[in-house]
Each structure stands twice: as C-alpha cells, then as structure tokens.
Amino acid sequence: MRSLLLHPLAKPLVFLLCLLPLAWLVFGAATDQLGANPAEALTRGLGDWALRMLCLTLAVTPLRLRTRTPQLARFRRMFGLFVFFYACLHMLAYGWLDKGFDVIEISRDILERPFILDGFTTWLLLLPLALTSSNRAVRALGGRAWRSLHRLIYLIAPLALLHFFSMRSGKNDYAEVAMYAVVIGVLLLERLLRYFEPKQA
C-alpha cells in the first residue's frame, strides 16, 4: 500500500479522482439529470464537494499518524487546493446562475443574508491558503509563519459547516449536516488532543 502511494502515477490518479465529481455534475447538467432546479443542484453540489474535500484534507494528518503512513502527506496539498477549487466553482455558480453576475445584488446578499456572508467569509479565508500553497511560498514566509497561516483551516472548517447548516436548515434537512458535524468535530478534536499531548523528551 505504501509503495503504491509513492508510485509516480498515484498523484495523477488522485487528481483525476478529485475531478470526477465535477465531471458528474457537468454531465448531469448537460443531460438534464439534476432535477427540477438544475442551477440550484449544481451550485449546491459544488459546495457539497468543497466541504467533502475539506473533510478529506483535515483527515490526512490523523490518518497519516494513526496508520503510520507518512506517504499520505504528499496528497494533502492537492486536497487543500481542491477545496479552494470547488469553493470557487460554488461561488461562480451562485454568482452566475443565481445572480447573473449582478455585483450589486451579490453585495446585497452578502450583507443581508448571514449564510451567504458565512460562505463568502469561508472563501476569503481559503484564498490566502491557496495563494501560499507552493514550496516557494513556504520558503518566503518561513516555516513557522506558514504553519500559523495555514491553521486558518481550523476556523474555515466550522464556518463552512455553519454555511452548510444554514442552507440545509431551510429545508429541514439536518441528517447530512449532523454527519458532517460529527466528522469535522472528531477531526478537530483529534487535532486539539495532539496539540496538548505531552511532548517526549
């Protein structure tokens, strides 16, 4: 298993797998398989996948440590960038399909609808993480400053969950929200416990 994770084709394969949800959503939209409101289904589907990629990104380090599989670390940056990718597409679909790129209407939405503000804030917090994801950025910022900046992920996760909850609550759909809340809660708690673990001399 560990040797497979280091295979030269492992990263391209994982990259293609991360693109499959987008391909399926685009195919569904093109073939009219997204239900009665395809614009809403596409927008929400992209947001859902941003949240799933976020969970996957948060899971890499615990899985790497618990399974003693350091090779998993090489995929974390890719997963993080796919969080931003799907979040950007989610924003784009909202601005285009829901608001027709009406900047005034979008601005009003951000100011007047808390769940839109939550989503927009989440995207803004993701932006510096995406912009500093390269090795060059790590060298420019320094390891300590880079790690401090990327701890924003632990603020981004609950904000993204709050945005998701607000969208689902309008339809009294809480089961999926509860599932993501448990996953994110466990992953953040695991991180907190590791932070307070006694350091070995």
Residue 164 has pLDDT above 60, yes or no: yes
Query: Is 201 part of any domain?
Result: no
Tens of pLDDT along 21-42? Answer: 999 999 999 999 999 899 999 9
pTM: 0.94
Does residue 109 lie within any of the structural domains?
A: yes
Residue in 98, 101, 103, 85 with CA at minimum distance from that of residue 167: 98
Number of domains in the chain: 1
Give domain status of residue 175, yes or no.
yes
pLDDT band at 174 (very low <50, low <70, confident <90, very high): confident
The position carrying tokens 């709050």 is: 162
Q: Which range marks the domain in which residue 87 is found?
A: 2-195
Percent of the chain whose pLDDT exceeds 90 = 83
